[in-house]
Structure formats: structure tokens, C-alpha cells
Amino acid sequence: MPAEPRTGRGRASRERIVESAAALFAERGVAATSLDEVLAAAGAGKSQLYHYFRGRDELVEAAVGHRCALVVAGLTQTLGEVATLAGLEQALAGFAAGYEQMGLPGCPIGSLAAEVAEHNEGARKQAAAAFDTWERLVARALERMRESGELRADASPATLATALLASLEGGMVLSQARKDPAPLHIALEAGLAQLRAHLA
Amino acid sequence: MPAEPRTGRGRASRERIVESAAALFAERGVAATSLDEVLAAAGAGKSQLYHYFRGRDELVEAAVGHRCALVVAGLTQTLGEVATLAGLEQALAGFAAGYEQMGLPGCPIGSLAAEVAEHNEGARKQAAAAFDTWERLVARALERMRESGELRADASPATLATALLASLEGGMVLSQARKDPAPLHIALEAGLAQLRAHLA
DNA sequence: TCAGTTCTGGACTGCCTGGTACAGTCGTCG
DNA sequence: CGACGACTGTACCAGGCAGTCCAGAACTGA
């Protein structure tokens, strides 16, 4: 029974709410953010929220989807054209640098996913889909490396992409918990070493 | 101003509260668990809680510490005597099997760490210390492999341990988000492959 | 036994939360 | 321009939350 916006004003209101929610959720965590805070940040009232969403859970789902779309868009830009190991290394280094500059928060998708996975199936699926896309972007880059002969023909882009993503994700978890960028760098270097082992 | 228990009864009460809290936090998440629920599970009243803890944050810290101690104890038992690659493979397979059987929750330490890292410095440190110990257990096992000549002399146990732990942790994050054990297996296999590359 | 301390039960408070109700404004289209 | 539906501001509600309080029970040591 949640209404789709039918006017420009409505669409703008809904969007402001979702964006404010996504920003606050990313900054403070989903559970630590109240609807009132979201509404205050968006300059909207309760009635707008409940006009567009069935309740809190549906807003969380929308906000997680929004944030995932943003992150995926950035990743697509960074990884979309990568076709060499050097290019991939550069992209990952850039990602790690950006992450460090934020003061070692969790992974922009992973943290949301972990917090939401057990409480909100819809939001969990959004995060899972974002991981799928991320992984596929890496796999495509590896496929291009294989086609160009840089990567051996018997290497599996999909498997290597999963492993690399896991290293990255795990590195971020360790770095966040320790407040130390070193684990991420080590994990990333190890993931790349794994890749190098499959070069032609 | 939090009182140390001075009698057997008091110690038992405090322990019951911490254990109940740790169990509920692990099951439902820290933010999604109220003090009343913890107290009900422990069969205790508010006055006990505030007799032993300054407030919610201090209980969270104690519970996270308790849970970390439990997990570390289990890991010590599993990894403490490992001295061969085969042994390490077996230990990791056992860990993954146990994890899968739980229905793909988050990492028993990592999830807690991620949820708590930005809100409770004391609890974050507990989790970070647990990761340190975990990593050191793996590093020690690798050192034994190096001493026995199974691992090459130029391999760095500490670095390899960090990378392996990151793979494991990242694999759990991906598996939890996707509700699919495959990513964890792939990540673990990749971590081990990395190790095999350093065999003598 | 008795005085002092530790521990316990549970009622109580004030605040904040997600969610509802409703009257009023704005936009759109005939 | 007029009417209808989309949209909005705000007051309100019940329930749940962390945290307080105090009277009394249990334990300790002398």
C-alpha cells in the first residue's frame, strides 16, 4: 500500500528521504538511526514517510538499495574498462586509499549487509546483488586479461574474482576492528599475488 | 563506580548476566537486544545489572570480551598444536563446517566487531585483541611448519596469517550476505593455495 | 549473635520510538 | 476555474527503553 510518487514534488520528497536515510545509515549504522533523525535531515514530516513507505523496514530496504547503487556506480566507473593487471592494481590501490581516507569505517556495502542480513531480507538481497555486480565487474576485467593473453587460459575469472573480493572484504573488517590500515594492505597484496600466480 | 562481586553469589549473578548478554548479542545483534531481555534471560533484576556495571555500554564491553574469550579458547584448542599444512587444512575445514551448520551467520568475532567498532571503543578493543590472538595462533602454526622445513624459510608467517584470516573473514561476509556457503569455500581454498605457493 | 556490607526484587520515572489521525495545502486536468 | 486526488504539517498515542530508587534479604566477620 505504499504510494508511488505521482508528481515532481512527490518524487523529490521521496528521494530526499531515501538519501538522508542512506547517508545516516552509512555514517552511524542502521540500528543507531531513528526515523525522526532521518526526517529532520530530509526536512520532511512523518506523514511523507508513511505516504511512501509501509514502515521503517521498507525505508531501510530502499536506503540500502540506494547506497548500493551509488557504490556500484562508482565501482563500474573504476573497473569497467580495466583490462590489465596493472590497471586492476591501480583500481584497487585507489579504492584502498579512499577507504583509508574515510578513517577506516567498514566496507560501504559489507557493513550494511552484515548489520541488516539477519533482520531485513529485502535489504539483505539488495546488498547481495551489489556484491554480485561487484564480483562480476572484477570477473569481466579478468576475462579481458585472459583474452589478451595476460592471464592463462585455464584460470577461472569467476573464482579468482570471488577470492579477491573476499580478501578485500576481510581486509576491511580486520582494519576496521584494529583501526589500522595494515591488514587491508596485506590482504590486498596477497589477493594480487594469487592473481599473479595465474599469469601466462 | 561499578562494584566487583565480593561473594560467590555475586560472582555467579554477574556471570549469568554477562553470559546471557553475550548469547543474545551473538544471536540477535547488540543493537537489537534490550537490557530487559538480557535480564529476563539471566533471571536477574535491574538492580543487579547496575550494581555491577555502569550502564549498557559497560555490559556490552564485558559481553563482547566474554564471547571473544570463548571463541579464542575454541580456536586455541583447534590450532594450538597444528604443525603441518594438512593439519591446518583440516582445522579450517572444521571451522567452515561448524560455521555452515549454524546457518551462515556472521563471523562470531567479526560481526560483533563491525557492529560495535564505531560506538564502543572498549568493546572494539576486545574484538581487536581477539583477532590478534587468532592471527598469532595461525602464525605460530606456520612457524612450526617452517621449522619442520615444510614451509620455505623466506615465507613470513605473520603476513601469511593475516592474509589467510582476511580471506576467511571476507568469505564469511560474502557467504552471510548471499546466504550461500560457496564464497567461503572459494575464499578458503584461495587462501590455502597462497600458502601452498610458499611450500618448500 | 549481631552489626555492617553486599546483594536482590521490582516498582517507578522520563524520554524516545515507531506509528496513526486528520485537517489543510498544492498540483493537475477537464 | 473548479474539483479531485496527491501531498504535507503537526499533534498525538501506546509501548518500550535505559536508568533510578529503596526497602529488605543474604552473607560476612568478629
B166–chain A nearest CA distance, Å: 4
Show the beta-strand stretches assigned E in B50-119.
none
**B44 Cβ within 7 A of any nucleic strand C atom:** yes
Q: pLDDT by residue for chain A (200 residues), tens digit each?
A: 688 999 999 999 999 999 999 999 999 999 999 999 999 999 999 999 999 999 999 999 999 999 999 999 999 999 999 999 999 999 999 999 999 999 999 999 999 999 999 999 999 999 999 999 999 999 999 999 999 999 999 999 999 999 999 999 999 999 999 999 999 999 999 999 999 999 98
Cα–Cα distance between B54 and A151 in angstroms, integer?
58
Q: Given this model, what pLDDT does residue A144 score?
A: 98
- Check CB contact under 8 Å for B113 and A173: yes
Q: Given this model, what pLDDT does residue B39 score?
A: 98
User: What are the helix (H) ranges across chain A?
Assistant: 8-28, 35-42, 46-52, 56-79, 85-101, 110-116, 121-147, 157-178, 182-196
Q: Given this model, what pLDDT does residue A195 score?
A: 97
* Chain B neighbors of A166, CB-CB under 8 A: 166-167, 170-171, 173-174, 183-184, 186-187, 190
Q: Given this model, what pLDDT does residue B42 score?
A: 98
Give one word for B43, left, alpha or beta, with left for phi > 0 and alpha for psi -120 to 50: left
Nearest to A16 by CA among A47, A39, A36, A46: A39
Across residues B82-92, what is the average pLDDT?
98
- C-beta atoms surrounding A185 within 10 Å: 16
Q: Which residues on adjacent β-strands are paired with residue B72?
A: none
Nearest to A66 by CA among A102, A23, A27: A23
3-state secondary structure of B178: helix
Nearest to B78 by CA among B140, B23, B158: B140
Cα–Cα distance between B132 and B75 in angstroms, integer?
12
* Chain B neighbors of A127, CB-CB under 8 A: 177
Q: Residues 117-176, chain A: which have Cβ within 8 Å of B?
A: 117-119, 124, 127-128, 131-132, 159-160, 162-163, 165-171, 173-174, 176
Cα–Cα distance between B126 and B118 in angstroms, integer?
13
Write the DSSP symbol of residue B102.
T
A94, A92, A113, A167 alpha-carbon torsion, rounded to 10°:
-140
- Cα A30-B114-B133 angle, rounded to 5 deg: 170
B28 φ/ψ angles, rounded to the nearest 5 degrees:
-110, -10
Cα–Cα distance between A191 and A185 in angstroms, integer?
10
**Angle between helices B157-178 and A157-178 in degrees, nearest 10:** 110
**B37 Cβ within 7 A of any nucleic strand D atom:** yes
Q: Given this model, what pLDDT does residue B178 score?
A: 98
Q: Given this model, what pLDDT does residue B2 score?
A: 81
Across residues B70-95, what is the average pLDDT?
98
Across residues B148-167, what is the average pLDDT?
98
